[in-house]
Amino acid sequence: MSVGFLVLAVFLIMGGCAVAVMVAVALTTRAAPLPQASVQFRGYVLRRWWFRVLGSAVVVAFVISIPWFPYPHAKQLQAQRHYRVVAEQFGFQLPEAVPLNTPIIFDVTSQDVNHGFGIYDPTGVLVSQVQAMPDYVNHLSVEFTTPGRYLVRCLEYCGIAHANMQASFEVK
Amino acid sequence: MQALTARDLDRARSVMWTYVSTGLAIFGLMAFVGLAMRLEQAGWLSYGPDIFYALMTLHGAGMIVAIAIASMGGLWYLMSLEAPLDEGIAYWAYALMVVGVIGVLVSVLGGHFGAAWTFLYPLPFVGTWWPSWATGAFLIGMAFIMIGWTLWCAQMLACVLTRYGGFRGALAWELVFHAREFEASGKKPPPPQAFAALVAAVDGLLTGTLGMVLGIALIVHWLDPSVRLDPLWAKNLTYFFGHSLANLTIYMAVAGVYVAMPRYTRREYHTSAALAVAWWATLIFVATAYFHHLYMDFVQFPAFQYVGEAASYLAAIPTAVITVYGSLMLVYRSQMRWSLGSLFIYAGLIGWIVGGFGALLDATIPFNIDLHNTLWVPGHFHTYLLEGVVLFVLGWVFMMLEERSATISPVIVRWLVGIGIFGGGALFLLGFYISGADGVPRRYATQPAPGPELSAWASIGAVILLVGLTIALVEGIRLAAVGRRRTT
- Characterize B433-471 residue by residue with b for buried, 16 or more Cβ atoms within 10 angstroms of its Cβ, and e for exposed: bbbbbbbbbbbbbbbbeebbebbbbbbbbbbbbbbbbeb
Angle at B97 between CA B96 and CA B101, to 5 degrees: 120
Does residue B2 register a pLDDT over 80?
Answer: no
Q: Based on the domain organization, do B399 and B487 belong to the same domain?
A: yes
Given A50, A61, A112, which is nearest B313 (Cβ)?
A61
Q: Clarify whether residues A93 and A111 are in a common domain.
A: yes
Element (H, E) at A47: helix A36-65
Q: Same structural domain for residues A54 and A101? A: no
Nearest residue on chain A to B51, judged by CA atoms? Answer: A160
Would you say residue B36 has pLDDT above 80? Answer: yes
Residues B251 and B364 in one domain: no
A3 located within any domain: no
Considering the domain architecture, whether residues A120 and A38 belong to the same structural domain is answered as no
Q: How far is A141 from chain B (nearest CA, A)?
A: 11
> Are A19 and B365 inside 8 Å of each other by CB?
no
pLDDT the model gives residue A158: 97
Under 8 Å between Cβ of B116 and B53: yes
Residue at A52 is within a domain: yes
Name the residue among A40, A155, A122 with its Cα closest to residue B295. Answer: A155
What is this model's ipTM? 0.96
List of residues 6+ apart from B259 with CB closer than 8 A: B78, B193, B269
The verdict on a CB contact (< 8 Å) between A36 and B316 is no
Would B319 be classed as within a structural domain? no
Please report the pLDDT score of residue B29 as a whole number: 97
Q: How many structural domains is chain A composed of?
A: 2
Q: Are B26 and B440 in contact (CB under 8 A)?
A: no
Neighbours of B301 (CB within 10 A): 11
Q: For residue B358, give the chain A residue with the closest CA.
A: A11
Distance CA B27, CA B303 (A): 37
Number of domains within chain B = 2
Q: What is the pLDDT of residues A100-143, one digit of tens each?
A: 999 999 999 999 999 999 999 999 999 999 999 999 999 999 99
* pLDDT band at residue A80 using 50, 70 and 90 as cut-offs: confident
Name the pLDDT band for B6 (thresholds 50, 70, 90): confident
Please report, for residues A28, B29, B159, B324, the alpha-carbon distance to residue B360 in angstroms, rounded to integers and kept in the order given.
29, 30, 34, 16
B273 and B160 share one domain: yes
Nearest-CB residue to B439 (from A28, A71, A120): A120
- A-chain CB neighbours of B434 within 8 Å are 8
Predicted confidence at residue B5, as pLDDT, reads: 83
- Is the pLDDT confidence value at B1 over 60? no
CATH of residue B206: 1.20.210.10
Clarify whether residues A83 and A101 are in a common domain.
yes
A16 within a domain of the structure (yes/no): no
Domain boundary among B277, B302, B321: B277
Q: How many percent of chain B have pLDDT more than 90? A: 96
Contacts of A15 in chain B (CB under 8 A): 354, 357-358
Q: Using CA coordinates, name the residue in chain B closest to A5.
A: B437
Mean local confidence (pLDDT), B139-160: 97
pLDDT band at A79 (very low <50, low <70, confident <90, very high): low
Instruction: Decide if pLDDT at A75 tops 80.
Output: no
Considering the domain architecture, whether residues B115 and B197 belong to the same structural domain is answered as: yes
Quick check: is B304 in a domain? no
Report the pLDDT value the prediction gives residue B4, as an integer from 0 to 100: 75
**Under an 8 A CB cutoff, do B329 and A39 touch?**
yes
Residue B289 has pLDDT above 90, yes or no: yes
Nearest-Cα distance to chain B for A101, in Å, is 20
Cα distances (angstroms) measured from residue A27 to each of A30, A46, B264, B330, B332: 6, 19, 15, 13, 8
Q: What is the pLDDT of residue B372?
A: 97
Question: Which positions in chain A touch B297 (Cβ < 8 Å)?
Answer: 131, 133, 136, 138
Cβ neighbours of B267 in A, within 8 Å: 36
Question: Average pLDDT in the B100-120 region?
Answer: 96
Cβ contacts of A160 on chain B, cutoff 8 Å: 49-50, 53, 114, 127, 129
Q: Indicate the residue of B118, B120, B335 with minimum beta-carbon distance to A33.
A: B335
Q: A103 has which bridge partners?
A: A143
In this predicted model, what pLDDT tens digit does every residue of B209-228 receive, in sequence order?
999 999 999 999 999 999 99
Q: Do B373 and A114 touch (CB under 8 A)?
A: no
Q: Tell me whether residue A43 is in a domain.
A: yes
Same domain, A167 and A98: yes
pLDDT average, residue stretch A156-167: 97
Q: Are residues A119 and A139 in the same domain?
A: yes
Is residue A92 in some structural domain?
yes
> Is the pLDDT reported for residue B265 higher than 80?
yes
Is residue B185 in a domain? yes
Domain, as residue range, for A141: 78-171
Residue B13 confidence (pLDDT) above 80:
yes
Task: State yes or no: pLDDT of B86 exceeds 90.
Answer: yes
In order of B233, B294, B375, the CA distances from B290 in angstroms are 13, 8, 19
Minimal CA separation from A85 to chain B, in Å: 15
Instruction: State residue B7's pLDDT score.
Output: 85
Residue among A7, A137, A154 whose CB faces B371 most closely: A7
Distance of CA B75 to the CA centre of its chain: 12
Output the average pLDDT for chain B.
96
Q: Do B338 and B375 touch, CB atoms closer than 8 A?
A: no
Task: Tell me the pLDDT tens digit for each residue of B293-322.
Answer: 999 999 999 999 999 999 999 999 998 999
Residue A12 falls within a domain, yes or no? no
Q: Three-state DSSP class for A137?
A: coil
Q: Which chain B positions have a beta carbon within 8 Å of A21's beta carbon? A: 328
A56 lies in the same domain as A108 = no
Q: Are residues A59 and A84 in the same domain?
A: no
Q: Where residue B52 falls among pLDDT bands split at 50, 70, 90?
A: very high
* Mean pLDDT on B90-97: 98
pLDDT at B118 > cutoff 70: yes
Regarding whether A83 and A38 lie in a shared domain, the answer is no
- List the domain range (segments joined by +) for residue B443: 350-488
- A88 and A62 within one domain: no
Higher pLDDT, B41 or B3: B41
Quick one: pLDDT at residue A144? 96
A42 near B333, Cβ under 8 Å? no
pLDDT at A74 over 70: no
Residue B460 has pLDDT above 90, yes or no: yes
pLDDT at A76: 64
Distance separating alpha carbons of residues B364 and B454, to the nearest angstrom: 25
Same domain for A86 and A49, yes or no, is: no
Q: Are both A132 and A166 inside the same structural domain? A: yes
Is residue B326 in some structural domain?
Answer: no
Interface test with A, best of B271, B306, B329, B343 (most A CBs within 10 A): B329
Does any domain span residue A6? no
Which uninterrupted H or E stretch holds B181? helix B179-185
Q: Let me know if residue B472 belongs to a domain.
A: yes
